[in-house]
Amino acid sequence: MRPLTDAELAGRTDLQHRDDIERLVVEFYRYAAMDELLGPVFAAAHVDWPEHIATLTDFWSWQLLGERGYQGNPLRAHEPSHERTPFTDAHFERWLDLFTSTIDEQFVGPTAEMAKVRARKMAFAMRRLLTGRHGDHDEPTEPIWPTTRAGSG
């Protein structure tokens, strides 16, 4: 990614609304799908992009804005892709680098910073689940998961 100009940096805002989250998700996956390392993983998975974007927008809207709507377990959802194209440390690091740089390119503020922290935790949790390894980091791996309450749909 190219360095940002002062004008571009000045126009950044925080992640405040679902539209902001969707913009982040679309931009990130545009980079990831075309990435030399990550692109082949998405190609092998035959990703349905509209569905994937909608699901990830739901996920990150829940993680960052507290909006209900995401259903599922992102760690378990990636097991089939990992079986087809085993994820390496390089995959996790590249995913995190791209996600962080996409946030930094477009957003600034406390929610943007929280997004980077949650992404780091997600990458470490995914690595632990899929590879059985914790990596060289002492980061806690505690992503927030949906809870189901009796009587709530």
- Known binding-site residue numbers: 78
Within-domain flag for 65: yes
Q: What is the pLDDT of residues 103-139, one digit of tens each?
A: 999 999 999 999 999 999 999 988 888 887 655 554 4
Side-chain half-sphere exposure of 67, counting CA atoms within 13 A: 16
In CATH, what number is assigned to the domain containing residue 95? 1.10.490.10
Residue 80, number of CB atoms within 10 A of its CB: 10
Residue list, annotated binding site for heme: 78
CA of 75: how far to CAs of 2, 110, 130, in Å?
31, 25, 8
**34 lies in some domain:** yes
| Beta strand ranges found along 11-134 (DSSP E) | none
Count: domains in the chain:
1
Residue 138 located in a structural domain = no
Average pLDDT for the chain: 84
For 1-27, how does the pLDDT look when each residue is reduced to its tens digit (9 = 90+)? 556 556 556 779 999 999 999 999 999
- Answer whether 15's CB lies under 8 Å from 21's CB: yes
What domain range includes position 84?
A: 14-131
Q: Is residue 70 part of a domain?
A: yes
Asked if residue 149 is part of any domain, the answer here is no
- The pLDDT of residue 149 is 42
Q: Is 29 domain-assigned?
A: yes
Residue 142, domain member (yes or no): no
Q: Is residue 136, in this structure, part of any structural domain at all?
A: no
Reported pTM: 0.78
